[in-house]
Amino acid sequence: MLDIQKIRADFPILTQKVNGKQLVYFDNGATSQKPKVVIDAITKYYEEINANIHRGVHTLSQLATDAYEVSRGKIQNHINAKFPYEVIFTSGTTHSINAIANGFASILKVGDEVLVSALEHHSNIVPWQMLCEKTGAKLVVIPMNDEGELIISEFDKLLSDKTKVVTVNHISNALGTLNPIKYIIDKAHEVGAAVLIDGAQAVPHLKPDVQELDCDFYVFSGHKICGPTGVGILYGKEEWLRKLPPYQGGGEMIATVSFEKTTYADLPHKFEAGTPNIAGGIVLGTAIDYLNEIGFENIQAYEHELLEYGTKRLLEIEGLKIFGTAKEKTSVISFNIEGIHPYDIGTIIDKLGIAVRTGHHCAQPIMDFYQIPGTIRASFAFYNTKEEIDTFVEAVKKAKMMLS
């Protein structure tokens, strides 16, 4: 099993005091903390091999290019993509989804449908809405139930030959629900629709296998898996990446340019216009190595313990209601206390050194479904402990006393 104290020692920030109290960081759903190996790798890149990639013949440029491509290979292996050029570096999940939604503008027609789930992050709603406005296609919502699960019988009914794209998250950031994506992908393929999986909340907890899933696109951000901000991944099946037009024009993505006609570079460069976040791309590989050393099975088993313990402890508090009670869920607990605004609790426990998210979690439609302004969300990572949960529960009790 995991040696949590040893793991915690890898994360310099965890020893910080915040407002004079020992930091308890339960906002991992928003971004993860970074281990020393990742922080050091960023410095090492800038101190030793910083140069622009894919351009120079000089030694540093080649070293930087090699390191960048090695990292692409690590990510390919990690998600089991068939080819390295199916792995595109982007600035994050939001960028990845926009690139795909934008590409579909050349394919969709009036009357076509895009199916999006009720559990999505705004990043996986708004780009599709923009696409529908542009093309005259219709955005159709797969509904959810009170437990925070998608209603799959309704999804089955919504599918038709009009469905061109189905887009769902692997795990909901607001509620922690693990969606039955394999079923969704297979069913969508029966009607010929392409499927995008927003894996932003899944990759911190599990290792996706894109070939086994058979999804057409799988996207995620580096910063939620112990990597830096400003780098993310867009996995796409080769045939789709060839079919879709590039998202941005510029350097790096071209084969030849003249004022009459420009031809695009081959994959993956077609989707990688401009100088990327080179350090970020390289170090994302370091972060993935770090997580694989700990092992995703260990991470999952431990986080499940934290989820069960946290759920049990929080439910001791009278008037506390948990939103998102799906049978399959990860270590996210979204809750409210009757009669108290989530923001007020968040503010008080921050004074006690505890970092949680309060608000709508970029998923307003879910809050509308429950008819609440927002929730308090505690999201646990493998470096959190049961002792921290105890501190957190005591702080919530104290806040409740002060506010009621």
Catalytically active residues are 362
CB of 148: closest distance to ligand PLP in angstroms? 14
Q: Are 276 and 305 in contact (CB under 8 A)?
A: no
CB of 237: closest distance to ligand PLP in angstroms? 20
Q: Are 311 and 330 in contact (CB under 8 A)?
A: no
Which of these segments, 55-63, 87-95, 207-215, 287-295, binds ligand PLP (CB under 6 A)? Answer: 87-95
Among 28, 117, 163, 201, binds ligand PLP (CB under 6 A): 201
Which of these segments, 19-27, 88-96, 282-290, 384-392, binds ligand PLP (CB under 6 A)? Answer: 88-96
Which of these segments, 58-66, 91-99, 147-155, 303-311, binds ligand PLP (CB under 6 A)? Answer: 91-99
Which of these segments, 119-127, 129-137, 251-259, 369-377, binds ligand PLP (CB under 6 A)? Answer: 119-127
* CA distance between the termini of the chain: 41
CB of 124: closest distance to ligand PLP in angstroms? 6
- Map the footprint of ligand PLP across residues 167-186, applying CB under 6 A: 169, 173
CB of 203: closest distance to ligand PLP in angstroms? 10
- Map the footprint of ligand PLP across residues 355-394, applying CB under 6 A: none
Which of these segments, 41-49, 121-129, 236-244, 377-385, binds ligand PLP (CB under 6 A)? Answer: 121-129
- Cα–Cα nearest to 120, from 105, 106, 107, 139: 139
Q: Are 172 and 363 in contact (CB under 8 A)?
A: yes
Among 124, 277, 286, 334, binds ligand PLP (CB under 6 A): 124
Judged by beta carbon, residue 78 or residue 121, the one nearer ligand PLP is 121
Among 28, 32, 94, 331, binds ligand PLP (CB under 6 A): 94
- Cα–Cα nearest to 169, from 190, 200, 192, 127: 200
CB of 229: closest distance to ligand PLP in angstroms? 8
Judged by beta carbon, residue 93 or residue 286, the one nearer ligand PLP is 93
Judged by beta carbon, residue 92 or residue 353, the one nearer ligand PLP is 92
Among 123, 163, 375, 391, binds ligand PLP (CB under 6 A): 123
Judged by beta carbon, residue 231 or residue 267, the one nearer ligand PLP is 231
CB of 32: closest distance to ligand PLP in angstroms? 11
CB of 211: closest distance to ligand PLP in angstroms? 22
Judged by beta carbon, residue 223 or residue 237, the one nearer ligand PLP is 223
- For ligand PLP, the binding residues (CB under 6 A) are 92-94, 121, 123-124, 169, 173, 198, 200-201, 221
